[in-house]
Structure 1
Amino acid sequence: MSVHHLAQLNIAAMKAPLESAEMADFVANLERINTLAEAASGFVWRLQDEAGDATAIRPFGDEVLVNMSVWQDVQSLSDYVYKSAHTEMLKRRREWFGRIEQAHQVLWWVPSGHRPDVVEAAERLAHLREHGATSHAFTFRHAFAAPA
């Protein structure tokens, strides 16, 4: 078993309320995409409330959705994001979400078994925004190896 896993946070600013007609197709696909993630090779955990809903967790404001998960490694997460049916949703993201000018996704290593919370994730995102990619907070494009 690996000593470290990869945590990721992705935030997205909705163009309309989640309950609106504009967001209906996004909402209709959530369960399918979450199930796909949970079945993906390398998936470890994802943030959700007691009811299994991640969309109700809004630490960055009412209009910002949070996606946070833990994976075995960068390749596992990358394969899910860019080489699975998840790409269908990525291609359509501009229908539902506005552009965030600063970094909106951050990756970082956590000890195996650790489940990050939104405070930890927000700190990592702030670090990335302030310092750029470092071993403390990085991106797919500028990934760092797991600590030895």
Structure 2
Amino acid sequence: MQQPADHHLAELNIGRIKYDLADPRMAEFADNLALVNGIAERSEGFVWRYVDDSGNATDTRPFDDPKIIVNLSVWQSVADLERFVWQTVHKRFYGRRADWFAHFEGPAVALWWVPAGHRPSIEEALARLDHLKRHGPSDHAFDWQRASAQLWKTARCAPTGQVA
């Protein structure tokens, strides 16, 4: 997927938590959100992330299922997002996602290009995810594979508990 001039990469990822965020079984995940988000914000290519009153995005529950939480951010490029996801402490938490998140049918990540300076709303992001689910990857919304992500290819094949 070729990045248009003067555009950045928006990403939405969603997950269905197994337990309430206050449940002790979610503590390691919940207690490290600020750490992981802080690393994201200091990462090369980070532009913006959606934050609600919780200080992250965990109070935003836009689905009928209240166990689905969202994360929405903007990055300068696919490579910048990939480096954060697969080459920082984030990969340790991603590798343990089965501890905290239930299996999810359908796409859980949507990527799309936004004009530099644009901050997508949750509604816009959900519409992109829905488009990806209904129509598959396209210029309107795509996944890691369509983004020609390189680190993702290695990470998706890693054994459970490992990412890269």
The TM-score range, normalised by the shorter chain, is over 0.9
Aligned match of 1:102 = 106
* Amino acid paired to 2:8: H
Aligned counterpart, 2:144: 140
Q: Alpha-carbon deviation of 1:50? A: 4.3
Provide the aligned C-alpha RMSD in A.
1.2
The answer as to whether partners of 2:33 and 2:56 remain within 8 angstroms in 1 is: no
Secondary structure of residue in 2 paired with 1:95: helix
TM-score by length of 2: 0.84
Give the 3-state SS of the residue equivalent to 1:25 in structure 2.
Answer: helix
Q: CA deviation at 1:52?
A: 2.3
Structure 1 gaps, min length 5: none
Matched, 1:15 2:18: yes
Aligned pairs, how many? 143
Structure 1 match to 2:86:
82
Deviation at residue 65 of structure 1 after TM alignment: 0.9
Which AA in structure 2 matches 1:129?
Answer: K
Partner Cα distance (2:110, 2:39) in 1:
21
- Give runs of aligned pairs for residues 1-148 of structure 1, distance below 5 A: 3-50=6-53, 52-60=55-63, 61-143=65-147
User: For 1:55-97, what per-residue CA distance to the aligned partner results, in whole angstroms no more than 9, with x for missing partners?
Assistant: 1111123201101000001100011101111100011100000
Shift >6 Å, 4+ stretches: none
Shifted more, 65-74 versus 52-61: the winner is: 52-61
